[in-house]
């Protein structure tokens, strides 16, 4: 639909459909906003305005050499909401997008634009293990993933693409998701992994949230185990956690009917 310029003069591609209260979707690492194709029509048809955008380095947005840390990415999200002057927003973030939503709320929530947040399989509270966070993954495993990507990212995608979906997902759908992931430059993938994903620690951010929060997570998620989402919800006062027992990482696609029902019900139940 157009481009939004950030304070750092980076152009972010965005799409804007429908009318009504806005729902802003934030995709995962290595995914352009096309990944929300199977969700936008449902919400627009029910009287909501849907905004999606490509984060820097993804899709049709500019590809700068820097700015792939979580604070800058949250600032880019702030630019989207400001430039479109969105208010009464429902933020929906998947995986790293969920982490961006949390950091945005911690840094810019006082602007009062966001009414509620939905975190879908979020990379939160913290992805990697630390002395005071034994629940995280081994940092050596995270680095091993990056090393594999440097050598053969296409091969890694081919081996892991079905794990994003379910056994019932068609080969065509799985291949579509793989193509979207492969469209992101390897440089960007590695920069985001180092600067935002493995470096994040959202525990204090989550404790400070003061708005309705819904966390949705698939029990079969191999990318971000459901224990992370449950821990994130446990740090937010009044947050609701929903586990999808037969879902993996891409629950908003593979379990779209339930996802739509849960998110719409959350929006309705938290309306002013």
Reported as a single tens digit per residue, the pLDDT across 175-230 is 999 999 999 999 999 999 999 988 899 999 999 999 999 999 999 999 999 999 99
Which one from 95, 169, 255, 262 is the annotated catalytic residue?
95
How many percent of the chain have pLDDT more than 90? 91
Q: Is 265 left (phi over 0), alpha (psi -120 to 50) or beta?
A: alpha
pLDDT value, residue 173: 98
Which one from 62, 76, 221, 262 is the annotated catalytic residue?
221
* pTM, entire model: 0.97
Whether 262 is catalytic is no
Helix (H, G, I), strand (E, B) or coil at 56: coil
Q: What is the dihedral of CA 88, 197, 79, 239, to 10 degrees?
A: 10
CB 251 within 8 A of CB 202: no
Alpha carbons 235 and 217: distance in angstroms, whole number? 16
Which one from 217, 249, 255, 262 is the annotated catalytic residue?
249
pLDDT value, residue 208: 98
pLDDT tier, 64 (very low <50, low <70, confident <90, very high otherwise): very high
Whether 260 is catalytic is no
Q: Cβ-count burial of 3 within 10 angstroms (0-12 exposed, 13-18 middle, 19+ buried)?
A: middle
CB burial string 86-119: b at 16+ within 10 A, e below: beebbbbbbbbbbbbbbbbbbbbbeeebbbbbbb
Q: What is the pLDDT of residues 100-120, one digit of tens each?
A: 999 999 999 999 999 999 999
Alpha carbons 93 and 101: distance in angstroms, whole number? 6
Between the alpha carbon of residue 250 and those of residues 23, 95, 108, 121, 222, the distances in Å are 19, 9, 28, 8, 11
pLDDT value, residue 174: 98
pLDDT value, residue 197: 87
Token code pair at residue 13: 């591609």
Whether 21 is catalytic is no
Residue 44 confidence (pLDDT) above 90: yes
Q: What is the mean pLDDT of the chain?
A: 96
């Amino acid at each position: 639909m157009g481009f939004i310029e950030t304070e750092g003069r980076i152009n972010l591609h965005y799409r804007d459909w429908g009318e009504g209260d806005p729902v802003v979707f934030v995709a995962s690492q290595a995914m352009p906003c096309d990944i929300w194709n199977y969700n936008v029509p449902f919400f627009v048809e029910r009287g909501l305005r849907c905004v999606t955008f490509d984060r820097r380095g993804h899709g049709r947005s500019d590809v700068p050499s820097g700015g792939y840390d979580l604070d800058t990415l949250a600032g880019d999200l702030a630019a989207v909401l400001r430039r479109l002057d969105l208010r009464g927003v429902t933020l929906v973030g998947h995986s790293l997008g969920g982490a961006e939503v949390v950091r945005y709320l911690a840094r810019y929530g006082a602007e009062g634009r966001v009414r509620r947040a939905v975190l879908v399989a979020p990379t939160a509270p913290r992805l990697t293990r630390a002395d005071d966070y034994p629940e995280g993954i081994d940092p050596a495993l995270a680095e091993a993933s990056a090393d594999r990507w440097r050598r053969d990212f296409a091969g890694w995608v081919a081996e892991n693409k079905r794990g994003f979906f379910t056994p019932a997902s068609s080969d065509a759908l799985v291949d579509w998701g793989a193509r979207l992931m492969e469209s992101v430059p390897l440089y960007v993938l590695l920069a985001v992994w180092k600067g935002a994903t493995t470096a994040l620690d959202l525990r204090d951010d989550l404790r400070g949230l003061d708005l309705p929060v819904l966390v949705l997570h698939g029990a079969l998620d191999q990318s971000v185990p459901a224990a992370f989402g449950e821990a994130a919800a446990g740090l937010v006062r009044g947050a609701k956690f929903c586990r999808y027992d037969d879902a993996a990482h891409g629950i908003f696609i593979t379990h779209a009917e339930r996802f739509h029902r849960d998110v719409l019900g959350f929006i309705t139940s938290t309306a002013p």
